[in-house]
Amino acid sequence: MIRHLFKLIWNKKKSNLLITLEVLFSFLVLFAVVTMGVVALERFNQPLGYSYNNVWLVEVDTRLTFDSVYNAQKRAIVDQLLLAMKQLPEIEQTSTWAIPPYSSYMSSYGEETNGKLVRIAIHHGSEDAKDVLGLQLLKGRWFEAADRSVNWKPVVINRLLAEQRFGNEDPLGKNPFPPGSDKPETRRNQDYRVVGVISDFRKGGEFTESMLTSIEYLPIEKTTQAISSNFLIKVRPGTTAEFKERLDRALTAVAKGWSFDIKTLEEMRQADFKPRIAFMITTGLISGFLLLMVALGLTGVLWQNVSRRTQEIGLRRALGSSERRIYQQILGELLVLTTFGLLVGTAIIIQFPLLDIITFVTSKAYIISFLISITFMYGITTVCGLYPSLLAVEVQPAEALHYE
């Protein structure tokens, strides 16, 4: 049966090439869409490394408040702002944090190591930042007041950076930045020392991957620029949005003429979700519409193919072929053509991980996406072939005589 199917397909190779190309194109589009969905779902289910619940961001409008010099007077005002916030009963803890989660701000450091660029996300935080964000300490300690008097720069790194930079070695007390340039201003050539390791920290939120992350200690008295203009505060559970207005009044009373933007991390999270989910829905709808057009086209091509083979099918029925055999033949040809298209698509798809072109997709997500796409393609081509196969079954032997 299989040998006979291959012979029939080869005899009509030109017309069958269109079906194979449609299957190939549909498979590649479907795999891309499914991969995006699987990667998004995989990332969403991974831990963030911090907590956004009851955490608020107080951001100073640096365009109105700060100039190029962050002097002692401004540092004193920032210190007074922290004290004023601590006196409010709704606030449990306060901290300075330069680049808040779910924000579009980004600071990074990169150097080439062994011909490959290594980029590390840089954050700055104070002693209370760990408790405000609920960071998970895996090894060592967090920043403490004694770090203000040391003559080296304490940093806390995430697990991913510790594993990539040091492997199985203990990272505590070592410089986390990779060896590279000999320029004295590079972080590699400054006295940075790891004091602790936290779990993976995904500053960009649930739909982003974990980056190599280094958090540098930044107490108020060591601030030399407007980098401490962001405050993260932990409010008591049940605190409503009405508290924003009262908090703003308390801050402006301390820093007259300064402007503050107060929002919750939950609000920033929802704002981050909207464009991402909208993009995924739009991509899914466009891809679904495209696959529907391909399915309709595939059904039409098969329908036309069956209509042209009325004589062949009628003769097979006259020679004793049962309805079941005719049905199996039409579906079998379609599944063989589908397999040809999927084999070519598979050969293309496996090139991406082999050539290290797609690095953000894990092996697990890649395999799951591939299996889902293969299963769906066999399903959709089978459904497309059902009606043309039923038409072939209804062909009677006498109809073949009309072609004589």
- Where do runs of H (alpha helix) occur along 105-221? 129-133, 159-166
What residue segments make up the domains of the chain, in order of their start? 2-45+272-403, 62-258
DSSP conformational letter for 236? P
Tell which wins on pLDDT, 55 or 229. Answer: 55
* 3-state SS class at 368: helix
Q: What φ, ψ does residue 143 adopt, rounded to 5°?
A: -65, 150
**Euclidean distance between CA atoms 86 and 94, whole angstroms:** 7
pLDDT of residue 304: 66
71-80, 162-171, 362-371: least confidently modelled range: 71-80
Element containing residue 118 per DSSP (H, E): strand 116-125
pLDDT band at 91 (very low <50, low <70, confident <90, very high): very high
Rounded to the nearest angstrom, the gap between the alpha carbon of residue 279 and the centroid of all alpha carbons in its chain is 12
pLDDT of residue 193: 92
Maximum mean pLDDT: which of 60-64, 68-72, 86-90, 290-294 = 86-90
The residue behind tokens 């039923």 is 390
Q: Looking at the predicted structure, is the pLDDT value of residue 222 above 60?
A: no
213 contacts 158 by C-beta, under 8 angstroms: yes
**Euclidean distance between CA atoms 164 and 239, whole angstroms:** 41
Maximum mean pLDDT: which of 106-110, 129-133, 323-327 = 129-133
Residues of the chain above pLDDT 70, percent: 75
The residue behind tokens 């500053």 is 203
Q: Looking at the predicted structure, is the pLDDT value of residue 40 above 70?
A: yes
pLDDT digits (tens, 9 = 90+) for 118-129: 788 888 888 899
> Which residue type does 94 have?
T
pLDDT of residue 243: 93
85-89, 262-266, 320-324: least confidently modelled range: 320-324
pLDDT band at 115 (very low <50, low <70, confident <90, very high): low
pLDDT of residue 227: 45
Q: Looking at the predicted structure, is the pLDDT value of residue 225 above 50?
A: no
- Alpha carbon of 55 to those of 251, 262, 268: distances in Å? 17, 11, 11
64 contacts 259 by C-beta, under 8 angstroms: yes
**Euclidean distance between CA atoms 68 and 225, whole angstroms:** 7
For 303-343, the DSSP string reads HHHHHHTHHHHHHHHHTT--HHHHHHHHHHHHHHHHHHHHH
* 3-state SS class at 116: strand
204 contacts 273 by C-beta, under 8 angstroms: no
- Alpha carbon of 361 to those of 35, 212, 364, 366: distances in Å? 8, 16, 8, 6
pLDDT band at 56 (very low <50, low <70, confident <90, very high): very high
pLDDT of residue 171: 93
Tell which wins on pLDDT, 171 or 395. Answer: 171
Pairing of strands 153-158, 55-60: unpaired
**Euclidean distance between CA atoms 224 and 60, whole angstroms:** 16
Residue 328 has which token pair?
Answer: 């199996």
Residue 346 has which token pair?
Answer: 């598979």
pLDDT of residue 68: 45
**Mean predicted lDDT score pLDDT of the chain:** 80
The mean per-residue pLDDT over the stretch 88-101 comes to 89
2-16, 223-237, 251-265: least confidently modelled range: 2-16
pTM over the 0.95 mark = no
pLDDT of residue 314: 61
List of residues 6+ apart from 226 with CB closer than 8 A: 60, 62, 65, 66, 70, 74
- Alpha carbon of 47 to those of 81, 115, 136, 200: distances in Å? 32, 32, 11, 8
DSSP conformational letter for 146? G
107 contacts 123 by C-beta, under 8 angstroms: yes
Q: Looking at the predicted structure, is the pLDDT value of residue 179 above 70?
A: no
- Rounded to 5°, angle at Cα 72 from 67 and 78: 80
**Euclidean distance between CA atoms 145 and 61, whole angstroms:** 28
Maximum mean pLDDT: which of 109-113, 174-178, 317-321, 400-404 = 174-178
pLDDT band at 9 (very low <50, low <70, confident <90, very high): low
pLDDT of residue 283: 85
